Structure 1
Amino acid sequence: MNETYIDNSYLNCTFTLSVHNDLEEFIRYIYMIIYPIIFIIGLIGNLLSSLVFSITELSQNSCGIYFLLLAISDSIALIGGLHHCLTIGYNISIPYAIYCRTRNFLVYTSTDMVSWMIVAISVDRFLKVKFPFKSRIHCTNKLNIKVAGCITIILIVKNIHLASKFIGDFTLDAADNCDPNPAYPSYVHFFENIWPWIDLTTFVLLPFIIVTSCNIFIINDQHKRRLKFGHRNFDRSLTKFLLISSLSLITCNFPVSITIIVYPYISQIYGKSEHYDEVGFIFDILRIPSYATLALNFYLYYYSSSIFRHQALLLFKRLCRIRVHSNEMNILSMGIIQVQSPRQSNLREQTVEK
């Protein structure tokens, strides 16, 4: 009887270990193949976005600085994600404290910047819809640069502890050398039990609440304009962009943030390298869509905004040294006029008539 029990236990353990090994092998191929594709597509798209919002007409838009910082933050976060590509996909460890501290600080700060730049864009759009005349005076490039600077400083202060001596686990059984330093147990407790809640709130929950509130008002206002003025005054591209950005913010980042919180409580191998379980597999899988959102913003802009498409095509032709015809310039000028407020458009029309 005892021998049968031992045999069954041995078979169960062997089967479980085999499943875990299969999961680990599968996730290794994901980070070995899929992440490099995401990285290359994202780096190209973010570079193009940076150029569009820095050297084309869109750089004069009040939100241009937010879009530029969003593209830069996306790129930094994707570069930081190469850490998982190396450690999970290629089993390459980098046991250097300065690397871990720099990487953790830049990744957390850049991903926070992504969320809060989307917040800044949504709030800017909300103010322009709610207060169209006052926003012309107050929502300027100069003010937005100051706002972006304040957001950056706040996020740096929030994440500065990640660049300190508290980061770096170089014990033999460490799952990741960039985990908190076990020599500081109080910080390890903070990092595993308190920090995830702070990060969830600032990275996902608070930005999602603000973005969703602004978007509800903007979309409702657009709907009223459609009923009052007809289809032509219903900005579908703006509505589409705002909906996709807010939905991707929550659907791609909320699950991985929740997993970070519950991981220490439901995994038996958290922080250790000997085994691999289902929780670790889910955690590693959920990182992929989170990284994908960092790579797809350029393509989202190109899909949802005709004005961005025109400016991007103009940029492509500049880069390829193709002469831009005068009729294309007229189309671009008309596109820029459409982005302006109704009051600005009326003044421009009155000037033309005169």
Structure 2
Amino acid sequence: MNVSFELKISTDLSKNISGWKNLSDNNSFILEVAIADALDLYVPPVLIILGAVCNILVIVIMRSTYFQNVSTSLYISVNALVDFGSLVFVLPPHWIQVNFPWIISRGPNADIICKVLNFLGWYTSDYGIILTVAMTIERAIAMRFPLKAASWCTLRKAKRVIIGLSLVIILKDFHFAIMSILVDKNVHDRLCDNDISDSTYLYFVDNVWPHLHKVFLSISFTLIIISNIIIVRSVRKSDRLSLLSSNEDLPNGPSVRRVSSRGRQLAIMMISDSVTIVVCTLPFAIITTLEASIELFQNNRQDKAIGHILFSISLYLLYVNRCANFFLYCFSGQRFRQALIEMVFRKIQRCYSNMVLTELFRLSYTDTSYTISTISKNDEGKGTFIALNPFSGENSH
């Protein structure tokens, strides 16, 4: 009797513990789903609006007098344009898919959308990375060899590099424009995936592409780190020369200080940009590599929810990088801040002047007491004062 009673108590306790565990797991799962849904719903609109405005401002400022003839400014402008296109054209469809999937058309030509969007997503990401590499190397060369910078770092050469790198990235990512398909309607964390129905492409995606992308990122990040080391050492050397020219009355002292100041400003901007792109790009590369190689977070629904959160965070970090350059340049670049302030004040002054002129024009032509007076001679040679009211259409004598 006692044994059976004890067994009953033990069975009831195990059921209660199991029920508590299931309840705890369910609560945890609900919380993780809520976090993922909040990230997908609220983060993209903020990034789209903020990034679009900030990248337009960067492009406008880079076309100002101080920056427009510097080759590094061309890299920054093109990079801002690529970021703008990614935020405006690639991110909105993803936001619609993860929040309102019923809006996405799933007709026979639906895969064409993914072929374009998936290619643009990877292209803008990789192109942004390699542009940062190019302009960091260019700035390192300019700082390391200042006497040859004028002939080596020109706008014409920068344009050639930009076009050449664009073609390289197109070749690297072009398979997405051919083999991308719309995800199944039950998948809500992304819009597009790879079509792995072909065994050859499946082998490429599983065994070739991950290693190719890792090599691309490794080389890019290594070049960025080496270039930043060269830039930091050159900035220190330039600061010493600038200090020497200020202490000694050298004939070319002002020119040395002016070149040193410009180079230092651009160097700091490049360092902040390159560090940010490494921090914001690396998590997405790690997550996608782990998902492809070991099928991470695919065991149960709670693991899938955690994987959804990590994927969303890493994906939105990519877009945070595409919004952050404006703030990095404002924080690290004194000349950039000055150009921004001058642009804002000119805009305010122009708007104020237009408002004043409009008001004066309105007052002058709406005042009913306003008249135009002329003196005319009549046939008898007597002077007659004629007051003409332009709005009444009548003459008063």
The TM-score bracket by the shorter chain reads 0.7 to 0.9
Give the C-alpha shift of residue 23 in structure 1. 1.1
Aligned to 1:280: 308
Number of residue pairs the alignment of both structures matches? 321
What letter is aligned with 1:282?
A: L
- 275, 282, 287: which one aligns with 1:247: 275
Relative to structure 1, the CA distance from residue 269 to residue 6 in structure 2 (aligned partners, 3 Å threshold; closer, same or farther) is: farther
1:146 corresponds to which of 160, 179, 183: 160
Contact between 2:101 and 2:185, CA under 8 Å: does it hold in 1?
no
Q: Partners of 2:339 and 2:240 in 1: how far apart?
A: 30
Q: Distance in 2 between matches of 1:319 and 1:228?
A: 38
Q: Which residue matches 1:35?
A: 44
Structure 2, unmatched stretches of 5+, are 1-6, 247-256, 352-397
Q: Matched residues in 2 for 1:129 and 1:196: separation?
A: 35
Indicate the residue corresponding to 2:220 in structure 1: 207
Tell me, in whole angstroms, the C-alpha distance in 1 between the residues paired with 2:19 and 2:101: 29
1:290-348 deviation per Cα after TM superposition (whole angstroms, max 9, x unaligned):
2111001122212211222232233334544539xxxxxxxxxxxxxxxxxxxxxxxxx
Query: Structure 1 pair 172/183, CA: closer, same or farther in 2 (3 Å)?
Result: farther
Partner of 2:97: 87
Q: 2:39 touches 2:312 (CA, 8 Å); kept in 1?
A: no
Normalised by the length of structure 1, the TM-score is 0.79
Is the radius of gyration larger for structure 1 or structure 2?
A: 2
Is the 2:36–2:308 contact (alpha carbons within 8 Å) kept by the matching residues of 1?
no
Aligned amino acid, residue 224 of structure 1: K
Q: Alpha-carbon deviations, 1:204-237, whole Å to 9, x = none?
A: 3222211111110111122233345439767564
Q: Is 1:46 the equivalent of 2:55?
A: yes
Query: Which of 69, 72, 81 is the aligned partner of 1:72?
Result: 81
d(CA) in 2 for partners of 1:9 and 1:263?
A: 31
Q: Distance in 1 between matches of 2:99 and 2:145?
A: 50
Q: Percent identity?
A: 19
* Counterpart residue identity of residue 305, structure 1: G
**Per-residue deviation at 1:87?**
2.5
SS at match of 1:58: coil
Match in the other structure for 1:223: 236
Moved more, 117-126 or 86-95: 86-95
Q: Which amino acid aligns with 2:94?
A: H
Rounded to whole Å, the distance in 2 between the matches of 1:131 and 1:73 is 29
Give the superposition deviation at 1:76: 1.9
Name whichever of 7-16 and 105-114 sits farther off: 7-16
**8 Å Cα contact 2:48/2:87 also seen in 1:** yes
Q: Write the mapping of 1:1-354 to structure 2, written as runs, cut at 5 A.
A: 12-13=21-22, 15-54=24-63, 56-79=65-88, 80-91=90-101, 94=104, 95=106, 96-164=110-178, 166-175=179-188, 176-192=190-206, 194-202=208-216, 204-227=217-240, 229-230=242-243, 237-264=265-292, 265-269=294-298, 276-320=304-348, 322=350
Structure 1 residues 238 and 89, CA, compared in 2 at 3 Å: closer, same or farther?
Answer: same
SS at match of 2:149: helix
1:89-131 deviation line (CA, Å, top 9, x unaligned):
4445634211111111111111112111111211111111222
TM-score, normalized by length of structure 2? 0.71
Quick one: distance in 2 between partners of 1:287 and 1:212? 23
* Conserved 8 A contact 2:74-2:155: yes
More strand by share: 2
Runs of 4 or more consecutive aligned structure 1 residues displaced over 6 Å after TM superposition: 1-7, 272-275
**C-alpha displacement of 1:178:** 0.9
- Per-residue Cα deviation, 1:126-177 (whole angstroms, up to 9, x for no partner): 111222222212321111101100001111111111111x211454544545
Q: In the alignment, residue 50 of structure 2 is paired with which amino acid?
A: I
CA contact (8 A) 1:241 1:301 kept: yes
Output the CA distance in 2 between the equivalents of 1:93 and 1:3. Answer: 50
CA contact (8 A) 1:196 1:257 kept: no
**Structure 1 unaligned spans of 5+:** 324-354
Pair 1:120–1:168, CA change in 2 (3 A) = same
Kept in 2, the 8 Å contact 1:119–1:210? The answer is yes
Higher helix share: 1
- Against the structure 1 CA distance between its residues 19 and 197, is the aligned structure 2 distance closer, same or farther, given a 3 Å change threshold? farther
Aligned-partner Cα distance in 2 for 1:48–1:15: 49
Tell me whether 182-191 or 145-154 shows the greater mean CA deviation.
Answer: 182-191
Q: Secondary structure at the match of 1:85?
A: helix
Q: Indicate the RMSD between aligned Cα atoms, in angstroms.
A: 3.1
Check conservation: 2:297, 2:303, Cα contact below 8 A.
Answer: no
Q: Aligned with 1:168: secondary structure?
A: strand
Looking at structure 1, the residues matched to 196 and 21 of structure 2 have their Cα atoms a distance apart, in angstroms, of: 33
Paired with 1:93 and 1:160, the residues of 2 have a C-alpha distance of 27
